[in-house]
Amino acid sequence: MPELPEVETVARLVRPRLLGRTIRGVRVNWERTLGGRSRAAFGRLVRGARVASVERRAKYIVMELERAGDVVGFLLVHLRMTGRLHVDEQGSERHAHTRVTCTLDDGHELRFVDVRKFGRFEYHHEVGGILDRLGPEPLEQGFDAEWLIGALAKKKRVLKPLLLDQFFLAGLGNIYVDESLHEARLHPLTPAHRVSRAKARALVQAIRKILREAIEREGSSFDTFYRTPEGQPGSYQHQFQVYGRGGQPCRTCSRTISRIVVGQRGTHFCPRCQPKPRTFGQAPR
DNA sequence: AGCTACTCCTGGTAGC
DNA sequence: TGCTACCAGGAGTAGC
């Protein structure tokens, strides 16, 4: 699933191909991808606009659109499970699951391909209302041990769903939460307010390290879905310590990795490296 | 506040 | 071989 490292990789690769390009035409093959706007309205808003910037915020790719030098709106792209962005030559073979196509003024097309149709390719006049509500970026300044210690103390939720919550912390998904919790040696069911200061510090370091390494390897590609816009798979999946490794030995201690379900999500951890905190699972006394 | 369940989707695969 | 049933899951929502 595309998470922060995959989305960052996509943004970096499409940016130089889109900056300064003007969108000449739009074709929509699956209207729901537009997030509620009609094909006609979407086409009207986007046609003739020029791409002024391509950035990533959380798991969104955000493109500023301008007309006559003024920013008039944004394309907000979310890959969800299986979304991919391609910039291909016009007339080149089109992927069967292409949902939205924007023809550009340089003979290329921006194509949004998405097998499972969960992804979104939306136009918004403003994005502040959406993006400002999200939690901090894990690789930027607002995310540090001091912040996390304070934030965890206020929450009674368990770590796994809390770290998946984009309003708490932006960008993590199922893979990198499991990997980060293993790296920090924290059990996924640990209540947030019971995480020690030392463990919170370890978690900050773990998240930053894992995301940086994953970006360096251009993300993870363990199935046929995620590819970089160059068509290349990422390679971080070879570094997985726990994700998708239920029943296999832990690479740290050789104990068998457990797979449980937490909040409808497959959750992988090492019972020895990530022991349960003392007081739960036992009868209160 | 925070939990569960449900929805959106389709390709892959297990089981027969 | 061909069929059915089930699974994966990010995010939004409803209900408790």
Strand order, beta sheet including A98-104: A23-28, A98-104, A108-114, A83-89
The residues facing A191 across adjacent strands are: A158
pLDDT given at position A29: 95
Q: What's this model's pTM, rounded to 2 decimal places? A: 0.93
pLDDT given at position A282: 46
Please tell me which residue in A37, A50, A56, A59 is annotated as part of the active site. A59
Q: Which nucleotide is nearest to A115 (CA to C1')?
A: B10
Strand segments (E) across A116-177: 120-124
A3 assigned to active site: yes
The 3-state DSSP class for residue A151 equals helix
Residue A234 φ/ψ, nearest 5 degrees: -75, 175
pLDDT given at position A168: 97
């490292």: which residue's tokens? A5
Dist. CA A256–CA A250, nearest whole Å: 6
Q: Which nucleotide is nearest to A80 (CA to C1')?
A: C10
C-alpha distances in angstroms, A25 versus A76, A108, A123, A196, A284?
Answer: 18, 11, 15, 54, 64
């080149």: which residue's tokens? A92
Contact yes or no for A245/A228 (Cβ under 8 A)? no
Q: Is the pLDDT of residue A148 over 60?
A: yes
A246-260 pLDDT, tens digit each: 999 999 999 999 999
Residue A167 φ/ψ, nearest 5 degrees: -80, -15
Contact yes or no for A227/A221 (Cβ under 8 A)? yes
Q: Determine the distance from the C-alpha atom of residue A47 to the mean position of all C-alpha atoms in its chain, rounded to a whole number.
A: 28
Q: Is the pLDDT of residue A284 over 60?
A: no
Nucleotides of C under 7 A from a protein CB: 8-12
Residue A236 CA, nucleotide C11 C1', distance (Å): 24
A71-121 pLDDT, tens digit each: 999 999 999 999 999 999 999 998 989 999 999 999 999 999 999 999 999
Residue A64 φ/ψ, nearest 5 degrees: -80, 135
| Range with lowest mean pLDDT among A5-9, A150-154, A276-280 | A276-280
Protein residue with the closest CA to the C1' atom of nucleotide C12: A118
Please tell me which residue in A80, A155, A208, A265 is annotated as part of the active site. A265
Nucleotides of B under 7 A from a protein CB: 1-12
Contact yes or no for A270/A257 (Cβ under 8 A)? yes
- Length of chain A equals 285
Q: Is the pLDDT of residue A229 over 60?
A: no
DSSP A255: P
Pair of tokens at residue A150? 């304070």
Question: Residue A104: which residues within 8 A CB-CB, separation 6 or more?
Answer: A18, A21, A22, A23, A24, A87, A110
Residue A130 φ/ψ, nearest 5 degrees: -90, -50
